[in-house]
Chains A and B, each alone.
Chain A
Amino acid sequence: MTVKLSKKVCLLGDFAVGKTSLVRRFVYNRFDDKYISTIGVKVSRKTVAVPRDDEIVELTMMLWDLAGSEEFNRVRASYLRGLSGAILVCDLTRSKTLENLTAYTHDLRDIDPAAKIIIAANKGDLLKQHQITRTQVEETANKLDAVFYVTSAQTGGEVENLFRHLGRLLV
């Protein structure tokens, strides 16, 4: 038996950490990226099949890719309303992006304390430029009570697993 569910999921992270790249390559994407720079958000869709008890849930995640730039800080709170989960994205080549995940998590928790969170430590393929170690990511994840994946939008590494894991958390 298959059940169909839809959930709102937000992608959060600093400017240029690779949120849109994750969406562009691995998610059904209809609208132009320009919406992110104009109204601060673009909605895409990712469907995953997730087992739940003795049934399969066809979960459609409506991904709200939120602009990372500060100019949209005010409107971002509006976009977070009604979310069920979030993917917090940091850039392994910029340590500041990991630090800022705590602030994003606080924003999320203000809206919905029960929202499921998963961390994508992106640009995993740029090993030589990494400023953040896996341990540091793990510490932050533990602190935020979240799981994490080291992903690469460039190679696709762990991206599908990331979405699948979040799907399991949501159902």
Chain B
Amino acid sequence: MTVPSDNSLPDKGQQRAGMADKGDDAASLLIEDPSLEALREILFSHYRQQIADLEAELAEIERRISDKDALIAMLSPVLGDAIRQKIRDARAEMVEALYPVIGQTIVRAVNEAVRNLARSIDAQMRTSFDLGRIIRRLKARVSGVSNAEMALREALPFDVEEVFLIHRETGLLLRHISCELEALPDTDLISGMLTAIRDFAQEAFGRGEEGQLDEIQYGNRRIVIEAARYTYLAVVVDGIEPPDFRSEIRQLAIEINLTHEEALRNYEGDSTSFVAVDESLKSLFTTTTPPQQLSAGQKRALAGILGVTTLCLAAACLGSGWVWQAIHSTPTPIIIMPPTATFTSTPTTTPEPTFTATSTAAPTSTATPTFTPTPTHTASPSPTLSATSTPTSTPTPAPVFGQMIGSVWLRQAPSAASPRLGVVLKEGQSVEILAAFEEWYQVRWKPQAQAEVIGWVPARWVGVSAPERIVTPAP
């Protein structure tokens, strides 16, 4: 057995280098070999074409995505179908997602309709006149609402009594607020049963639709229900709620769900984590008496009312001052001017035709014969008052004087219902009795030389009996 010398054996490094050289040679042979290239062409040309096509498609897609108009043109044909399919498969989710947009639009439309109704009622009310309505109008103006709204509000009293925040799926009570100091017992059982009734109604009457029980009524009270994704609010109200009340509940329910979404989704039965919601729930109780800032119009109206009130007070003060002066100072309300020919329709020998003048000036006096002197009276033998103002052959009798035995108002006609002349004849004053009619005397009082007052006073306050000649016959 021969053993090769050390020099004849290649070391391991040389062996590896030799193998590498051989490999490179082989590779170069593969590349350069046209038959292999032809084989490669046969095997991969199909894939190369596909890759080229895909690259072209990718470029086109990138172009469309970056071009907004092209993207819209691409999506439009399928968008409608996609939405329809999504609504069919997940209606609740779609409703929840679209509610903030569609819900607000619907609420706005309904509000507009209600406002139109209120306007028409308002127009009707403006055309009628009634003291109560005037007061309501003022109240409405100050409150910042329309007359119709105020009228409706007065006609429809409303109170919030209880508010339940209930976990929709479990029916567990999360929070409860009551307007009463003594809370309703077993509110957790009520919330459970309420949820059961809702479920039952949905199952029994829903017929596969997404509707839900949103109100239960018993007597004047109602349970108004508004649901959000994880909870629902059940509000016990008495009377008719204001127009925005339901949307306010709905908004509150949604807000609570958004704020506590995580806790509600994984609710484990600890309601103390929702204590902060109480304040929001309490806001529903204040809905009945909303605090309102006065608008510029309201402020103007209020200022106007205050101004008018001030003027009225000033006028009242002035008026009362004048009356006080009239009572306590020398009365000169009726100044009888010296007679003129125009006051007497017939010639008279009486130097003072004042009676005729005052009589004709007072339309109420025509009820009595004394105020309607006619020429025929002259021929009448009866001793009428007009006799003094008409020509007569009878000598003028001496005037009859009396003294007041009490203070009394002088009146325009012989009746307590007759208007006062603004003069009080005081006890002790001397008066001339001109005529007598039933229990009344017509008297003349001359406080000053140039002025005199004629009127009627009750006979019992004049300390003298009228002679028969001046008694006026009954009408």
Taken together as a complex, chains A and B put the C-alpha atoms of A40 and B189 apart, in Å, by: 16
- Chain A 97-132, CB within 8 Å of chain B: the 1/0 string? 000000000000000000000000000000000000
List, sorted by A's number, 21 A–B pairs whose CB atoms are closer than 8 Å. Answer: A3-B270, A5-B269, A6-B172, A6-B173, A6-B188, A6-B271, A8-B192, A30-B186, A35-B193, A41-B200, A45-B188, A62-B172, A64-B192, A74-B203, A78-B203, A79-B199, A81-B170, A82-B168, A82-B169, A82-B172, A84-B269
Residues of A contacting B173 in the complex (Cβ-Cβ under 8 angstroms): 6
Residues of B contacting A42 in the complex (Cβ-Cβ under 8 angstroms): 193
**With A43-B196, A64-B192 in contact, do A7 and B269 touch (Cβ < 8 Å)?**
yes
**Does B175 interact with chain A (Cβ within 8 Å)?**
no
- Chain B 169-188, CB within 8 Å of chain A: the 1/0 string? 11111000000000000101
Contact B167 A82 (CB under 8 A): yes
Residues of B contacting A7 in the complex (Cβ-Cβ under 8 angstroms): 170, 172, 269
**Does B311 interact with chain A (Cβ within 8 Å)?**
no
**Does B372 interact with chain A (Cβ within 8 Å)?**
no
Taken together as a complex, chains A and B put the C-alpha atoms of A82 and B231 apart, in Å, by: 12
Taken together as a complex, chains A and B put the C-alpha atoms of A75 and B199 apart, in Å, by: 8
Residues of B contacting A82 in the complex (Cβ-Cβ under 8 angstroms): 167-172
**Does A83 interact with chain B (Cβ within 8 Å)?**
yes
Query: How many of chain A's residues have a CB under 8 angstroms from any CB in B?
Result: 27
- Chain A 1-41, CB within 8 Å of chain B: the 1/0 string? 00111111000000000000000000000110001000111
**Does B202 interact with chain A (Cβ within 8 Å)?**
yes
**Does B204 interact with chain A (Cβ within 8 Å)?**
yes
Contact A78 B199 (CB under 8 A): yes
**Does A60 interact with chain B (Cβ within 8 Å)?**
yes
Q: Which of B168, B170, B203, B269 has the most CB of A within 10 A?
A: B269
Within 8 A of B (CB), among A33-83: 35, 39-45, 60, 62, 64, 74-75, 78-79, 81-83
Contact of A62 among B168, B188, B199, B203 (CB under 8 A): B188
Contact B171 A8 (CB under 8 A): yes
**With A39-B200, A79-B199, A81-B169 in contact, do A5 and B268 touch (Cβ < 8 Å)?**
yes
Residues of A contacting B196 in the complex (Cβ-Cβ under 8 angstroms): 35, 39, 41, 43, 64, 79
**Does B272 interact with chain A (Cβ within 8 Å)?**
yes
Contact A75 B170 (CB under 8 A): no
Residues of A contacting B269 in the complex (Cβ-Cβ under 8 angstroms): 5-7, 84
Contact A62 B186 (CB under 8 A): no
Binding site for A on B (CB under 8 A): 167-173, 186, 188-189, 192-193, 196-197, 199-200, 202-204, 268-272
Contact of B170 among A3, A35, A83 (CB under 8 A): A83
Ordered nearest first, which 7 A-B pairs have the shortest CB separation? A82-B169, A43-B192, A82-B170, A5-B269, A78-B199, A75-B203, A39-B200
Contact B192 A62 (CB under 8 A): yes
**With A6-B271, A8-B170, A82-B170 in contact, do A43 and B193 touch (Cβ < 8 Å)?**
yes
Taken together as a complex, chains A and B put the C-alpha atoms of A44 and B199 apart, in Å, by: 17
Q: Which of A6, A31, A75 has the most CB of B within 10 A?
A: A6
Contact A5 B171 (CB under 8 A): no
Residues of A contacting B199 in the complex (Cβ-Cβ under 8 angstroms): 75, 78-79, 81
The smallest C-beta distance from B11 to any residue of chain A, in angstroms, reads: 70
Contact B189 A45 (CB under 8 A): yes
The smallest C-beta distance from A109 to any residue of chain B, in angstroms, reads: 17
Contact of B202 among A8, A43, A78 (CB under 8 A): A78
**With A6-B173, A60-B188, A83-B170 in contact, do A75 and B200 touch (Cβ < 8 Å)?**
yes
The smallest C-beta distance from A62 to any residue of chain B, in angstroms, reads: 5
Taken together as a complex, chains A and B put the C-alpha atoms of A41 and B203 apart, in Å, by: 13
The smallest C-beta distance from A105 to any residue of chain B, in angstroms, reads: 20
The smallest C-beta distance from A163 to any residue of chain B, in angstroms, reads: 16
Taken together as a complex, chains A and B put the C-alpha atoms of A45 and B171 apart, in Å, by: 13
Taken together as a complex, chains A and B put the C-alpha atoms of A17 and B147 apart, in Å, by: 64
Apart from the given pairs A6-B188, A62-B188, 9 other A-B contacts in the complex at a CB distance below 8 Å: A43-B192, A44-B189, A45-B186, A62-B189, A78-B199, A78-B203, A79-B199, A82-B171, A84-B170
Residues of B contacting A8 in the complex (Cβ-Cβ under 8 angstroms): 170-172, 192
Contact of B270 among A5, A62, A79 (CB under 8 A): A5
The smallest C-beta distance from A79 to any residue of chain B, in angstroms, reads: 6
Residues of A contacting B171 in the complex (Cβ-Cβ under 8 angstroms): 8, 43, 62, 64, 82
Contact A40 B200 (CB under 8 A): yes
Residues of A contacting B188 in the complex (Cβ-Cβ under 8 angstroms): 6, 45, 60, 62
Taken together as a complex, chains A and B put the C-alpha atoms of A94 and B171 apart, in Å, by: 33
Residues of A contacting B168 in the complex (Cβ-Cβ under 8 angstroms): 82
Within 8 A of B (CB), among A80-97: 81-84
Taken together as a complex, chains A and B put the C-alpha atoms of A81 and B230 apart, in Å, by: 12
Contact of B193 among A4, A31, A75 (CB under 8 A): A31
The closest CB in chain B to the CB of A74 belongs to B203
The smallest C-beta distance from B98 to any residue of chain A, in angstroms, reads: 24
The closest CB in chain B to the CB of A3 belongs to B270
Residues of B contacting A31 in the complex (Cβ-Cβ under 8 angstroms): 189, 193
Residues of A contacting B268 in the complex (Cβ-Cβ under 8 angstroms): 5
The smallest C-beta distance from A30 to any residue of chain B, in angstroms, reads: 5
The smallest C-beta distance from A141 to any residue of chain B, in angstroms, reads: 26
Taken together as a complex, chains A and B put the C-alpha atoms of A41 and B235 apart, in Å, by: 23
Taken together as a complex, chains A and B put the C-alpha atoms of A2 and B170 apart, in Å, by: 23
Residues of A contacting B170 in the complex (Cβ-Cβ under 8 angstroms): 7-8, 62, 81-84
Residues of B contacting A5 in the complex (Cβ-Cβ under 8 angstroms): 268-270
Taken together as a complex, chains A and B put the C-alpha atoms of A39 and B197 apart, in Å, by: 7
The smallest C-beta distance from A120 to any residue of chain B, in angstroms, reads: 21
The smallest C-beta distance from B266 to any residue of chain A, in angstroms, reads: 12
Taken together as a complex, chains A and B put the C-alpha atoms of A78 and B121 apart, in Å, by: 46
The smallest C-beta distance from B249 to any residue of chain A, in angstroms, reads: 22
Taken together as a complex, chains A and B put the C-alpha atoms of A149 and B200 apart, in Å, by: 31
